Amino acid sequence: MPESFHKPVRRPSSMFDTIFGGHDPADTARVAHSTAHALLSRVREDPEAEVVERLVAFTAEHGIDTIASLWSQAPARSLPGALWRIYLLQLMVHEDANTSSIIYERGRHELASADPIVAGAPTPAGPDEMVALADAILRGVFDGDFAVALNRAASFSRVEASGATHLADDYELTEPERSTALTTKALRLSTFAADLDAAAAHWRAGTLT
């Protein structure tokens, strides 16, 4: 199981529902894009292991609020929007690695595509493997091929979406509320996957802003 957090951290009630507001949309957009570009360029130019590990562990130590205030309202297919989604995926796994692994394994068995291979989880993928995968994807943002990290996050999202969809079908008659929650999660993860793949294509074309 993943290590416990070092101190209490305020979490949003739902990883995919909470959006943090800003005062002026134009100012918020400028801050989002400038901080994302500054952070990524600085770390990737000199990816010191200690700095990268601090960024990977940031939400565990400080919560999601700081990152959300910077990037949550950015367009999905932008640099800050992509970074926000990868951090959300990592936090989703860290908060409930057991559920993530159950959903992932179901999706891996059901999905007829290369996504499980692209995502890079071992077989089978238990809770510890899920945490390691989420951290590895985020780490790749800072010290690897950024487009590959985005594609891996997209594939991971598709596998999870597939698993959530099939589990929702299983619970439809016996636990309809749980089925609805899983269906909603699957839809959002599918959207994440499309947005992250699009961001990867923009990055390769030099048009991700």
Task: Tally the C-alpha atoms within 13 A of residue 92's C-alpha that lie toward its C-beta.
Answer: 26
Please tell me the pTM assigned to this model. 0.85
Specify the 3-state DSSP secondary structure of 48.
Answer: coil
Residue 99 in tokens: 């559920």
CB 73 within 8 A of CB 19: yes
What region does 15 belong to: left with phi over 0, alpha with psi -120 to 50, or beta?
A: alpha
CB 133 within 8 A of CB 121: yes
Quote the strand ranges of the chain, DSSP E: none
Per-residue pLDDT of the chain (209 residues), as tens digits, is 444 333 434 444 344 444 434 455 666 788 889 999 998 888 988 888 899 999 999 887 877 888 888 899 899 999 999 999 999 999 999 999 999 999 999 999 999 999 999 999 999 999 999 999 999 999 999 999 999 999 999 999 999 999 999 999 999 999 999 999 999 999 999 999 999 999 999 999 999 99
Predicted pLDDT of residue 4: 38
CB 157 within 8 A of CB 190: yes
Torsion sign (Cα): 129, 131, 137, 143: negative
Which whole-number Å values give the CA distances from 194 to 87, 150, 197, in the listed order? Answer: 16, 10, 5
CB 78 within 8 A of CB 208: yes
**Burial status of residue 120 (CB atoms within 10 A of its CB: 0-12, 13-18, 19 or more):** middle
Predicted pLDDT of residue 24: 59
Hunting for tokens 């589990």 — which residue is that? 167
Instruction: Write out the H or E segment, with its range, that includes residue 110.
Output: helix 97-110
CA distance 157 to 155: 5
Both ends of the chain: CA-CA distance in Å?
37
Over its C-alpha atoms, the chain yields an Rg (Å, rounded) of 17
